[in-house]
Structure formats: C-alpha cells, structure tokens
Amino acid sequence: MTEMRYREALGRALREELLRDENVFLMGEDIGVFDGAFKVTEGLLEEFGDKRVKDTPISENSIVGMGVGSAMLGLRPVVELMTINFSLLAMDQIVNHAAHIRYMFGGQISVPLVIRMPQGAGNQLGPTHSHCFEALYMHVPGLLVAVPSTPADAMGLLKSAIRDDNPVIFIEHETLYAEKGEVPDEEHLVPFGKAAIRREGTDLTIVGISRMARTAEKAAVVLEEEHGVSAEVIDPRTLRPLDLDTILESVKKTNRLVVVEEGWPHGGVGANIAALVQEHGFDDLDGPVLRVTGVDVPMPYSKSLEQIAFPHVEQVVDGALRALGRTVSQ
C-alpha cells in the first residue's frame, strides 16, 4: 500500500489505463500544457503526447460531442470538464446522445465514454461552480454514476469506468483532491454497484454521498464518544448502479436510517434512497428515514454563508440523534 492524495490516485489510474489500452485518450480544457485545473493530469502530456492528451476549446457541448463520436468509433475517451456546473452546457450530448445511443441502435453500438467532473462547495466559487448535481445524472437511464470519496476508490472506480462499455459520469469532489489515503500498489479495480461499509454500528445507519461519506464517518466518532451511539456508515460509491442490498441489510440490523448529501433536498439522492428503503425495507424501520442535505438555495459566495449551506459533522450528529428520538443535549 502507498499513501497518496486523491488527485494523485486519479492521475495514476489515467496513466495506467493509457499504458494498458492504446484506444484510451484524454481531452478537456487545460488538461495538457497546464496539467489540469486540479493537476490530476500532471505530466501526462509530456509522457503520452498531444494525440492522447488533448487540450480543447472552451465548449463543453463540443467536447462531450467529440467524446461521444470517438467512443462510437471504438476509442475510449476520458473527457474532463472543469466543473460539474459547466456540464449543463453539454446536457444534450450527455442525455440525448451518450446515454441513449446504445438503446437507440439496439445494442449494436456502445459509447465507452467517461466524463470526469469535480463538484462541491467550500472554495468560495459561487453558484456557477459549487453545486452537487449527482441527482441529475442518477435520474438518466443509460448512464453509470460514480461518486468516490477516497483515493483508493477514486483510482479503482476510474479504472473500472474506463474499461466499461457504458457512458460513465465520474464525479469528484473539489475539496477531496488533496486528501490522502492508502492505495494498493498492485492492479486495483473497484466494481460498480458495490457499497463500502466504512464503519460498523448497531444503533442506526448513516449513508453518506461523495464527500459526505467522510463527514458521516467523523460524525459517527462524535456520536459514539459523546452520545454513546453506535452508527454504521455506508458509502455507496456508485449511484447507478446503487447497492441497495447493502443499505437494506444495514437497516435490517439498525432499524433507522439517515442519508447525508451535499446537494439540494428536492429530488435529491437522499429522497431516492429514502423511497427505495421505504418500499423494500419498511418493516425494518422503527422511524422515518431522515435526510441531511444542502440548503435549498444557490451556493453563496460569502464564506460564512457558504459554510452553512452544506452539511457538517454537527448537522449529521443532530440528524442521527433526531432519528433516535433524542436531542443534542441528551
């Protein structure tokens, strides 16, 4: 095992896949000469040349469209968009084309395309750079959606995404790029549709999405040390496919569920998971599924306002205690 940062793990995955398969190539804004906005692609242009690491114009619709076309012709493009907010400019290519071409052609043509995008608040970049849109893409049949929260999962899921014949929305969190973690030295693949149980517990289940999986782990420590509560923490890792079985098995054991996400509350990932658990695990619940979400507002520029617009440990602890019928003072 080697300790490395989240961005380094992503870069290693890209390098290994470029070496493994000559059909893999990268393209995006400033990924070559500038080494990427978040330095994930550092050194790859120098090593692989501009035929396989391509800087593109600032046109998300065009970038993704080129990715769709090249994937249809047998290549395996990895497209980087500078932020998930900018992907809204490419929604036609992502939803109407990448997601649906395999279906419309009766399976005769696949679109092995990966779209890498950072998201999330915390850097004072305002409402056009800081939102979490995994729920938008989770809604679309034909897309796979990954939300890795650790360096090991970032590397393993990205390698699996590049090898998959389906289009993959690969969502990274901006504040995780500098986070360190252990990554296997050998070939490392993480399968889609297999959640990770980050912490065992017996009193309630907490499901955390993307960065919120790590926030949930920290909250579980506080719950145990300060409130005597044993929380089981689950990181889904992928939202399409979703490992509902692992969540249901945990709820069967703990009888309570809290879902934590940074995105907006209406039509969010938590709403989807709550509905699924209510449909398939209602008899195991001793109370309603609670959600801890971002605030239902555009992301503020102001640092103080931004900090209260997305969940922290305190909000997760409060949500867990409410699920147990308790308050912070108890």
Q: Collect all residues with Cβ–Cβ distance below 8 Å to 20 and sequence separation of at least 6.
A: none
Indicate if 13 and 84 belong to the same structural domain: yes
Indicate if 135 and 223 belong to the same structural domain: no
Burial class of 8 by CB neighbour count within 10 A (0 to 12, 13 to 18, 19+): buried
pLDDT tens sequence across 83-108:
999 999 999 999 999 999 999 999 99
Indicate if 128 and 262 belong to the same structural domain: no
Q: Of 135, 154, 183, which closes a domain? A: 183
312 catalytic, yes or no? no
Which residue out of 17, 29, 60, 217 is catalytically annotated? 60
Distance CA 103, CA 111 (A): 10
16 catalytic, yes or no? no
Q: How many domains does the chain have?
A: 2
Question: What single DSSP character describes residue 265?
Answer: S
Which residue out of 8, 80, 97, 129 is catalytically annotated? 129
Distance CA 163, CA 18 (A): 11
> Domain limits at 252?
196-323
pTM for this one? 0.95
What CATH number should be reported for the domain holding residue 229? 3.40.50.920
Across 280-290, b (16+ Cβ under 10 Å) vs e yields ebeebbeeebb
- Residue 189 maps to a domain: no
- Residue 190 maps to a domain: no
CA angle 141, 149, 112 (to 5 degrees): 40
Indicate if 217 and 99 belong to the same structural domain: no
Per-residue pLDDT of the chain (330 residues; tens, 9 = 90+): 899 999 999 999 999 999 999 999 999 999 999 999 999 999 999 999 999 999 999 999 999 999 999 999 999 999 999 999 999 999 999 999 999 999 999 999 999 999 999 999 888 888 888 899 999 999 999 999 999 999 999 999 999 999 999 999 999 999 999 999 999 999 999 999 999 999 999 999 999 999 999 999 999 999 999 999 999 999 999 999 999 999 999 999 999 999 999 999 999 999 999 999 999 999 999 999 999 999 999 999 999 999 999 999 999 999 999 999 987 655
What's phi and psi for 138, nearest 5 deg? -60, -25
At 309, list the tokens: 């617009």
Indicate if 172 and 279 belong to the same structural domain: no
CA angle 294, 296, 175 (to 5 degrees): 30
Indicate if 176 and 54 belong to the same structural domain: yes
Q: Of 160, 183, 206, which closes a domain? A: 183
What CATH number should be reported for the domain holding residue 16? 3.40.50.970
- Residue 330 maps to a domain: no
Query: Which value, to the nearest 10 degrees, does the dihedral of the CA atoms of residues 188, 189, 195, 196 take?
Result: 0
Q: Of 183, 204, 238, which closes a domain? A: 183
Output the CA–CA distances (angstroms, integers) from residue 178 to 80, 129, 174, 290, in the order listed: 18, 18, 9, 31
Indicate if 53 and 160 belong to the same structural domain: yes
Indicate if 146 and 239 belong to the same structural domain: no
- Residue 329 maps to a domain: no
- Residue 328 maps to a domain: no
- Residue 252 maps to a domain: yes
Indicate if 201 and 173 belong to the same structural domain: no
- Residue 79 maps to a domain: yes
Indicate if 235 and 117 belong to the same structural domain: no
- Residue 86 maps to a domain: yes
Of 174, 177, 181, give the one whose Cα is nearest residue 196.
Answer: 181
Output the CA–CA distances (angstroms, integers) from residue 22 to 16, 75, 80, 153, 258, in the order listed: 11, 9, 18, 24, 44
Indicate if 130 and 253 belong to the same structural domain: no
Please name the amino acid found at residue 23. Answer: N
Distance CA 260, CA 219 (A): 11
Indicate if 154 and 265 belong to the same structural domain: no
pLDDT tens sequence across 271-312:
999 999 999 999 999 999 999 999 999 999 999 999 999 999
Convert 286-329 into a string of H (helix), E (strand) and C (coil): CCCCEEECCCCCCCCCCHHHHHCCCCCHHHHHHHHHHHCCCCCC
